[in-house]
Amino acid sequence: MEKNIFQHKVKSYTIWTLILLVIVAAIYFAVTELVPDDWFATHGADWLKGHGLRIFFIIAFSIVLYYALRKAIPRAMHLTMGKGKWTKKIKEEHEKRVKTLSKVFVVTSGILILVTALFMVLSEFGVNIGPLIAGFGIVGVAVGFGAQYLIRDLIAGLFIIMENQYNVGDVVRIGSISGIVEEINLRRTVLRDLDGVVHFIPNGESGVISNFTKEWSRVNLNVSVSYGTNLDHAIAVINRVCKEMAEEPHWKSSIIKTPQVLRVDNLGDSGIDIKILGDTKPIMQWDVMGEIRKRIKKAFDEEGIEIPWPHMKVYFGDTKPDAPKQ
């Protein structure tokens, strides 16, 4: 955990160092290419008192504003989403939603602050930023025609976040890919599947999205017993095992509604399927189902209930297979 935190800090510092170098390079270019050589000798002191001081305050204010927003935005999300309908949502869902929205807003705010500060600094150096802004507008239109897929991804990502379709930490299936959401922004979603493979999915190509862990999850499990089993006895054993498990402190915090037998679900080729349903906290359904399977197997062995396996009976002629021998 500490290693991951250290790597994240190093990555963050590296990014901001690169951004600072870009700003310094832009300022250096403006000074060397756009300012006359004799300008510092005649106007240097007055310029530093006026424009230089304002540039310092612009940079300092931008840095302070960014770090203030990094602290304020998550708290604002907690306060805003803690009202109204959000009070009915479970704590885990609330935390995932806050984490996702906060990251998107912080990154967007940082880009806006950087661009605004850069233009303000250039204007202090006497650079006419009007043509630059107009040029960015023309370039933006040109890029827009050539980046239709990018615009589609951004719009789709905006709706995904606004509609709260999924958040960081959810287990989802997007198209044919299933995994846990590690990162989401306006352009793409990052999933990691059970094999540890990371998938980068453009939001515009998401299609049908299935969220397995939104607000709560469900135990949906079939258990097979042989045809010679007393079904009432088997159902009583299954319900007893599930009830005992749900009352244990370790599992009680993960189970919302105690799993129990819903019905006899199928008369199969080799056995009878009994369906079990229950509700759990998000992402806990697989752990609960695994534990239920283990306990039912142990209980069935103690009660003499047979779990079937595929088999067939073969006989010849007209004699019935179960007919007594003469």
Q: How far is residue 100's CA from residue 86's CA, in Å, rounded to a whole number?
A: 15
Question: Could you tell me if residue 40 is inside a domain?
Answer: yes
Identify the domain containing residue 71 by its residue range. Answer: 2-128
- Asked if residue 167 and residue 100 are part of one domain, the reply reads no
> 106 and 14: one domain?
yes
pLDDT over 70 (residue 140): no
The answer as to whether 20 is a domain residue is yes
Question: How many H helices and E strands in the chain?
Answer: 9, 8
Q: Please, are residues 225 and 307 in contact by the beta-carbon 8 Å criterion?
A: yes
Asked whether residue 166 is domain-assigned, the answer is: yes
Angle at 311 between CA 307 and CA 315, to 5 degrees: 135
CATH of the domain at 170: 2.30.30.60
CA–CA dist 210, 195 (Å, integer): 19
Position 143 pLDDT exceeds 60: no
Specify the 3-state DSSP secondary structure of 135. Answer: helix
Lowest mean pLDDT among 118-122, 195-199, 279-283, 316-320: 316-320
SS3 36: coil
Query: Could you report the per-residue pLDDT of 223-257, keeping only the tens digit for each?
Result: 999 998 999 999 999 999 999 999 999 999 899 99
Q: Are 14 and 6 a contacting pair, CB within 8 Å?
A: no
**Could you tell me if 15 and 100 lie in one domain?**
yes
Total domains in the fold of the chain: 3
State the DSSP H helix or E strand holding residue 181, giving kind and residue range, or none if neither: strand 177-184
Write down the pLDDT at residue 178.
92
6 pLDDT exceeds 90?
A: no
Same domain, 198 and 235: no
Asked, for residue 287, whether it belongs to a domain, the answer is: yes
